[in-house]
Amino acid sequence: MNITAWREKLLLNEDLNFLLTNRIPRVAATRFMGWYSRIRSPVLTRVSIAVWRLFTDLDLSEAKHQRFDSLHDCFTRELKPGLRPFDADPATLCSPSDAIVGACGPITGTDVLQAKGFPYPLRELLRSDAMAQRMQGGRYTTLRLTSAMYHRFHAPHTLAVDRVTYISGDTWNVNPIALKRVQRLFCKNERAVIECRLSELGNAPLILVPVAAVLVASIRLHWLNVLLHLRWPGPNVIPCAASMSKGEEMGWFEHGSTIIVLTPPGLELVPGVQSGVRIKVGQVLFQRRSDDV
């Protein structure tokens, strides 16, 4: 059996996959990976990347640099310039990250879905009834970043950031297997609730929720002078006054995880974007509804 077939067999075995990625000391493993990934040794890094490739479809051909002094440098790699152009139309909202689209749909009540049959309360995710009410009538989209993907995320539209609420938490895996087994998973994991206003769309609200996961649990936001991680107990509310243009880099995950996008009323997913579809940074994710133009 070749490596690709072996890897697929492992990934498709749900019980084994869940056991290996969740029934471990998740927080301890995540802290260890944070330490290990920062060891600056080109030789150790090459060996680690070779092992990483046994379990993923890691492709570094788009990376700005091909040599890495640490595993962390590879995780948070930049891309070659011009590879992820953003749609310039102000009526569109683009994907903030490379991702696989997960659960998505209208925000019409108190709950949204993490997977079919697995709802979770929006107010619990955001830790705010007021925020959850503000997004009623909009849409939610779950964007899952695999460990092999580009891990930086960007402003999906011209926006202003007013507040970040950092919530420390657990580090469950966020793959589809775990989402079908762990109730309210996104509400349990470490996350940052980023409250934004779309300055070119009448200051309509936009909320981005980067959710960390096993081996990740560390989120960098460029406009904050602190690395958000598990040793910093939350929730912590951080007022902000940051403005960003469409496509500007907002930050990165240390490995791979999820970004939940909550959009205001008047936007709809573009045709072809649905659960299971791969999407790239800058690709149009939402557009203004024709009846609102």
Verify whether residue 98 is a known catalytic residue.
yes
Q: Judge residue 35's burial from the number of C-beta atoms within 10 Å of its C-beta, 0-12 exposed, 13-18 middle, 19 or more buried.
A: exposed
d(CA 196, CA 213): 23
Q: Of the candidates 91, 145, 74, which has an alpha carbon nearest to the alpha carbon of residue 263?
A: 91
Q: Which amino acid is at 152?
A: R
What backbone torsions phi and psi does residue 35 show, to the nearest 5 degrees? -70, -50
| Catalytic annotation, pick one of 73, 87, 98, 170 | 98
First and final C-alpha spacing in the chain: 55
Verify whether residue 154 is a known catalytic residue.
yes
Verify whether residue 151 is a known catalytic residue.
no
Q: How far, in Å, are 61, 76, 83, 150, 225 from residue 42 at the CA level? A: 18, 16, 26, 20, 28
* pTM, entire model: 0.86
| Catalytic annotation, pick one of 70, 72, 73, 154 | 154
What local confidence, expressed as pLDDT, does residue 226 receive? 67
**pLDDT averaged over 10-residue windows placed end to end, the chain, 293 residues:** 54 48 61 79 91 84 92 89 93 95 91 86 94 94 90 95 88 77 86 93 94 71 73 73 94 81 94 93 90 56
| Catalytic annotation, pick one of 37, 97, 128, 257 | 257
What local confidence, expressed as pLDDT, does residue 154 receive? 96
Q: Which amino acid is at 94?
A: C
